[in-house]
Structure 1
């Protein structure tokens, strides 16, 4: 829930100001009104004018709002929840879905003020809107004074936090942490806000142990839900899934509307190998908050993993329906819906979904690839192997040509290729899934795909390929280091480690490279933690390795240099 509670319904938009504060809002504030109703847009503009705000623009729906926000930034966004209510067909994205897109795709800055306006009394919708953390939400009808006070309060808070936000936007995370610490001292009214920013910054730097400490300090002062959730996230990020699960179970019990806790709990349960329990957790969350597309998508994925094709169909059908009016539709949702329908023996329904994909997503990146994958699934279900192979080759060629596919979709494509003995294509797709940036699969996850498909020979072949690639990367890292690019050398070594995580030569090179960077360029907590972790891994694999003692000594010297306690 937002930190601020909704206003009491004390009037109607457009009513005369009731005891409006004498001090106007900053006349330089820019406001975007998102509302399909021209009369309500005019009323809101009149209320803002009464507060001294004149830099106002309007959007009639989510699509035009996204376009407006893509052209320029606004200080305040006033968004009607029922955005589809003013259209002829009563369809379109609602305010909650718009906010989800804006946050997820980083169209608005973290300091942008987003206020949800709603007269909706449906419990689930209000919870959903609150979950996505608008700055505030106001229940209609309301007075000009209420709007004035809410915006003024949000602007005051933003002014306090803005210096830290700006450092974050400039990529100066370390300075932002220091500024948050100092600002908490000089502006104690926002101490918890600054602590939250500090913890999130540590998380972004992969300093999960430090984030855990900050969240723990906050909880010692006040048992707020976001800090409890943050603590659980920090614990889970350190690989302590079994410790995180009871924290999350208690958090859900105490705060049944804190939806993100359900998401993390389900993820931990899935990592523990309990897809059925993860599905149940997500179902509980969707029953409370049924309007968040990403949660519905995850529920569908978990349902497929658990073999519940009926549940998967229900979830992915809702995802496809709710995403229909989004500027960021994903054709992979259609593939997953087809997969569920084929799994439950409904090829006719699957064909209908494919036609919708072709008609409504034409020109969208990867739409042709997703169509080919979907058609191959239908052909497979009909026993038409030759036609399925033809479609799979079309999909693989499209990926080679640059069509973007998520790692999970690449895995699904690889599995379909394996079923038809398209070994080279399957291996190529899996290598792509390994190199997919932040969402990339680990080497072990990729190898497990082949093992589960009964192809340990391909797993061995990929292992050899990965080791060969890692060797090439070691050479590239040497060249960068010799040219004085120490940071670049370490990044290349980390790529090699991703390719061959249990290779002693790579592990030793990574530790040596990290320690060299630390000694020359300053202490880097996440890199040092990684080096320490690799040292312990080396010790477990070969306690008598001739380089181990020297690397231990170098690590100790680096800690002494920077006064880091062991």
Structure 2
């Protein structure tokens, strides 16, 4: 029998007798370092303070207050999403055969293994041994990833896929995920397509759709996702991506329907309910937003990932409804139920200001908002959407200096995904044409500066640097039409000088499509299309590794 005496194990199960039974089995195979967790929340607390070699988790974690209705699969997704456990952690799901059949085909993030109940000590021992063996096989690749050497890990996956057929599919999936993590989306799309040639796997279909989405081919991504859901209507992650994609195309009503369908199937995922509340409010469905946000606040009450911004969202919905008393009650609940911190104080001030504004107390609203802005610099975890809403309230309450500082911070941050167009739209909503003019002029000046910088870099031979500068500008100003033609011209020059790059080529076609939609008579478009076609034909005739591959 293998020596498991050094292993540490966490058992997650609400049933005391089942925990005792599994613990006894572990003792029989000389595993004595065993801890227990009775719910998702207690498991998260345990895993946040120490690491375990193996987690044995019951799928049905019950619907008690502490568990908040979460099941083992949702716990796994939370642990991965918040990076509480590493991608190579051994997480084994204990479940019945009926549940296994429903979950295994619908989950994007799979556990290391499933053990079907009832099971014997021999089965448990064998499965733990198999999981340890698999982790040992993948450990060299995991170590490369942990060291930030993702490109080398990709090469290792490709080599091992050919030499270790037993784990070929696992290596193929890991390689595709690593390509996506490096923004090599064209290669990731092809990697997922190769996997799908062997077997129609839901996670591979989703991965391909994600890659296509990242490449800007939204219609193609939507088609892939709808086909995935037609084949497998319980693949929950596909609903989330489809809703996000639809919202980016201003199809909020369609996105709301997608999220409602998802919540009907899986009602306990807080992030999905939060998204449903956001899209309901955006489409004017105040009652739907109130319902979703109330569920978020209730379900997150005992969560380790509780977010005070959820109370703000509920207050916003109630203010839209005109329910001042209900909104004030939510503010009081926030004050009572969450310990003071900069993030909580920002949310309390923001929520209280909305209530005072609804009650006609303009002076009190501005004062509460000022308190929130004073704490914002110390707060953590505030989303870009939250900050945009806060800035909008500042405009409404004539706190122009604070709003401008927040807008500038969001536009300058490459991670905020906020551009000048969004800021301009918010200023228009607030009836502040004076601020609109400022940001319109600022946007033109910023784009002009980037174009000049790119031209200098290109003239001095740094064509990659020129393209990179323009790509950064495109992220900040995605609707600036003049930037499209300059970017395509520079990208095509890089391809001509340095060789075919699939990702760059896809970005060129996306930008040229936007140019045609914006102005079918664009004078530069025919020449750019001809240049692209010539470069593509040359690449097809003389295939060489792409610049991404050679790096």
| TM-score, length basis structure 2 | 0.81
CA RMSD of aligned residues (A): 4.5
**Structure 2 alignment gaps of length 5 or more:** none
- State the match for 1:179 in structure 2: 156
For each residue in 1:250-294, what CA deviation from the matched residue of structure 2 results, as whole angstroms up to 9, or x when unmatched? Answer: 221210111111112222222222212211111111111111111
Q: Is the 8 A contact 1:128 1:292 kept in 2?
A: no
Closer, same or farther: CA 363–127 of 1 in aligned 2, 3 Å: farther
Instruction: Measure how far apart 1:322 and its partner are.
Output: 1.6
Closer, same or farther: CA 360–510 of 1 in aligned 2, 3 Å: farther
Aligned residue runs from structure 1 range 485-524, under 5 A? 495=472, 498-499=475-476, 502=480
- State the match for 1:300 in structure 2: 277
Closer, same or farther: CA 212–117 of 1 in aligned 2, 3 Å: same
| Aligned with residue 235 of structure 1, among 193, 212, 229 | 212
- State the match for 1:343 in structure 2: 320
Q: Is the 8 A contact 1:173 1:201 kept in 2?
A: yes
Q: SS of 2:216's equivalent? A: coil
Q: SS of 2:289's equivalent? A: helix
Q: Which moved more, 1:191-200 or 1:71-80?
A: 71-80
Q: SS of 2:298's equivalent? A: helix
Task: Tell me, in whole angstroms, the C-alpha distance in 1 between the residues paired with 2:105 and 2:359.
Answer: 41
Closer, same or farther: CA 31–198 of 1 in aligned 2, 3 Å: same
For each residue in 1:294-332, what CA deviation from the matched residue of structure 2 results, as whole angstroms up to 9, or x when unmatched? Answer: 111111111111111121112111111221222221111
| Aligned with residue 56 of structure 1, among 18, 34, 41 | 34
Task: Note if 1:205 corresponds to 2:182.
Answer: yes
Task: Note if 1:170 corresponds to 2:147.
Answer: yes
Closer, same or farther: CA 416–166 of 1 in aligned 2, 3 Å: same
Q: SS of 2:55's equivalent? A: strand
Aligned residue runs from structure 1 range 47-126, under 5 A? 47-81=25-59, 95-117=72-94
Aligned residue runs from structure 1 range 63-462, under 5 A? 63-81=41-59, 95-117=72-94, 133-138=110-115, 140-401=117-378, 404-462=381-439
For each residue in 1:91-131, what CA deviation from the matched residue of structure 2 results, as whole angstroms up to 9, or x when unmatched? Answer: 79664554333111111110111123357999999799956
**Structure 1 alignment gaps of length 5 or more:** 1-22
Instruction: Measure how far apart 1:182 and its partner are.
Output: 1.1
Instruction: Measure how far apart 1:517 and its partner are.
Output: 13
Closer, same or farther: CA 330–220 of 1 in aligned 2, 3 Å: same
For each residue in 1:45-83, what CA deviation from the matched residue of structure 2 results, as whole angstroms up to 9, or x when unmatched? Answer: 321232343443444554554344334432211124565
Q: Which moved more, 1:319-328 or 1:419-428?
A: 419-428
Closer, same or farther: CA 433–264 of 1 in aligned 2, 3 Å: same
Closer, same or farther: CA 147–349 of 1 in aligned 2, 3 Å: farther
Q: SS of 1:330's equivalent? A: coil
Task: Work out the number of aligned pairs and report it.
Answer: 540
Instruction: Measure how far apart 1:480 and its partner are.
Output: 11
Q: SS of 2:364's equivalent? A: helix
Closer, same or farther: CA 314–126 of 1 in aligned 2, 3 Å: farther
Task: Tell me, in whole angstroms, the C-alpha distance in 2 between the residues paired with 1:173 and 1:274.
Answer: 36
- State the match for 1:6 in structure 2: none
Q: SS of 1:366's equivalent? A: helix
Q: Is the 8 A contact 2:107 2:236 kept in 1?
A: no
Q: Which moved more, 1:284-293 or 1:413-422?
A: 413-422
Task: Tell me, in whole angstroms, the C-alpha distance in 2 between the residues paired with 1:564 and 1:280.
Answer: 43
For each residue in 1:485-534, what CA deviation from the matched residue of structure 2 results, as whole angstroms up to 9, or x when unmatched? Answer: 999998777555544554969996998799899989x9987578668977
Q: Is the 8 A contact 1:128 1:290 kept in 2?
A: no
| Aligned with residue 21 of structure 2, among 36, 43, 46 | 43
Q: Is the 8 A contact 2:45 2:304 kept in 1?
A: no
Q: Is the 8 A contact 2:501 2:546 kept in 1?
A: no
Q: Which moved more, 1:471-480 or 1:208-217?
A: 471-480
Instruction: Measure how far apart 1:337 and its partner are.
Output: 0.9
- State the match for 1:15 in structure 2: none
Closer, same or farther: CA 526–216 of 1 in aligned 2, 3 Å: closer
Q: Which moved more, 1:511-520 or 1:52-61?
A: 511-520
Closer, same or farther: CA 300–478 of 1 in aligned 2, 3 Å: same
Task: Tell me, in whole angstroms, the C-alpha distance in 1 between the residues paired with 2:489 and 2:50.
Answer: 45
Q: SS of 1:161's equivalent? A: helix
- State the match for 2:11 in structure 1: 33
Q: Is the 8 A contact 1:490 1:514 kept in 2?
A: no
Closer, same or farther: CA 338–565 of 1 in aligned 2, 3 Å: closer
Instruction: Measure how far apart 1:25 and its partner are.
Output: 6.2
Task: Tell me, in whole angstroms, the C-alpha distance in 2 between the residues paired with 1:479 and 1:370.
Answer: 45
Q: Is the 8 A contact 2:63 2:70 kept in 1?
A: no
Q: Is the 8 A contact 1:414 1:429 kept in 2?
A: yes
Task: Tell me, in whole angstroms, the C-alpha distance in 2 between the residues paired with 1:326 and 1:404.
Answer: 16
Instruction: Measure how far apart 1:536 and its partner are.
Output: 9.5
